[in-house]
Amino acid sequence: MEEIRKIGVLTSGGDAPGMNAAIRAVVRTGIYHGLEVFGIKRGYQGMIEGDIIPLATQDVSGIIQRGGTIIQTARCKEFHQYEGRKKAYDQLMKFDIDAVIVIGGDGSFTGASIMSKEFDIPFIGIPGTIDNDLYGTDYTIGYDTATNTVVEAVDKIRDTASSHGRIFFVEVMGREAGFLALRSGIACGAEGILVPEEKKQLDKLRKYMAERAAKKKSSIIIVAEGDEEGGAIGIAKRIKEEFPELSIRTTILGHIQRGGSPSALDRINASRMGSAAVEALLDDQKSIMIGLVNNEIVHVPLNKTVKMDKDVDRNLLRLAEVLI
């Protein structure tokens, strides 16, 4: 590989608390090693359009505590086609950018892996998604903050549930993955946790509801949005039909889970990953994701992290069943 002098950094897909901490680490580590760093705005869309700006140390001052991403993010259908990726490559060449660091999820990494092969340009991925569903890493940027956001919201919902003797079905994000639902459910003492990775959960829930109806107690049921039974609204409707005597309410937490000031853990881990991504480029690495396994930095091939599925912690599933 040719010597790397200029690197680009972009955020792609859904935003996650801690992305700014990663951007800051990329910029400052790059400058520390004598590199020029460019921010590619609005993800791959900005790469195609040439919306690229130089980033200096002062440009990333005061951003570590901010949620979202200062260089913005977007989803780009044009990048799915070779023609779009060729436009993106041409723009990178205009700025003499030698390598790119992508902060995002599996869709972002898929695009990075393809473009790296087509144009022989190094891409390094940093996992940034509140879903924590990327293979090869125990942790993704934003997951810890999102978990805390869910717990804080559910604690408040529980006050109302207890006051009125109601059962609340609370839907959390995660697409087809139950990591956020499982961890937050345990943390807030939920009486039920429904995740896509576990099948036939409705029978257990019906049994629990029959017992709960007899005792007339309040409950919190956490539901992952990708649950096969239809999410919180669908499940709550079915339970209400079977147990009309229960007072049931539904809350969808939605995008509040993506926002907010990142936790200390997200800030620290994002900083570690951002710095490690620059050092990986300087070590002639390409087409890898920076991960954390047992709190240690690891390198995972991009094609492996997008092809392999990550399962939820079965020990946590068992713990949830015991504690409920």
Residues with a catalytic annotation lie at: 131
Q: What token pair was written down for 226?
A: 């990708």
Gap between the Cα atoms of 188 and 172, Å rounded = 13
Alpha helices by DSSP H, listed for 165-293, are 179-187, 201-215, 231-242, 264-282
Contacts of 140 (CB under 8 A, 6+ apart): 16, 105, 127, 128, 129, 130, 131, 132, 133, 134
How crowded is residue 55: how many other Cβ atoms within 10 Å of its Cβ? 23
Q: Is 105 helix (H, G, I), strand (E, B) or coil?
A: coil
What Cα–Cα distance (Å) separates residue 318 from each residue in 12, 194, 315? 34, 13, 5
Angle, helices 179-187 vs 143-164, to 10°: value is 50
The strand order across the sheet containing 167-172 reads 192-194, 219-224, 167-172, 248-252
Gap between the Cα atoms of 304 and 181, Å rounded = 25
Q: What token pair was written down for 131?
A: 């879903």
Alpha helices by DSSP H, listed for 283-313, are 302-307
Contacts of 39 (CB under 8 A, 6+ apart): 8, 9, 10, 23, 27, 52, 53, 54, 55, 59, 70, 71
Q: Is 102 helix (H, G, I), strand (E, B) or coil?
A: strand
